[in-house]
Amino acid sequence: MITNANAEELDALARRLRARTREFNNQGEFSNVHDALLERRQERHADVEARLEAAIRRGAVWQSIRLELERDFDALIANCGHLLDRMDAAAMKRR
């Protein structure tokens, strides 16, 4: 059963969805898309730093460097996908 509270929540959700749809249609991307990318990059940096410090303490530096290079390569491939998405968004802006 839908109560007034549920109906209000649904209305609020619908308003947010319409606003985000307008934003995407006007800008070709969401305003916070770059924030998420930056946050992921900062998290990755902190994670790598912690793992390398642990590797130094264990004496497993070269194994960790190899592993980090593999992870960086995988991240590079993923970032290419993000770049393509951004290029698509830029193309939509020009329409």
Domain residue extents for the chain: 1-31, 32-95
Q: What is the mean pLDDT of residues 25-40?
A: 71
Q: What is the mean pLDDT of residues 43-48?
A: 83
In this predicted structure, the answer to whether residue 2 has a pLDDT above a threshold of 70 is: no
Q: What is the structure's pLDDT at 31?
A: 64
Q: What is the structure's pLDDT at 95?
A: 67
Those residues with Cβ within 8 angstroms of residue 48's Cβ, 6 or more apart along the chain or in another chain: 68, 71
Q: 1: pLDDT confidence band, cut at 50, 70 and 90?
A: low
In this predicted structure, the answer to whether residue 17 has a pLDDT above a threshold of 80 is: yes
CA distances from 94 to 27, 68, 83, 90 (A): 9, 38, 17, 7
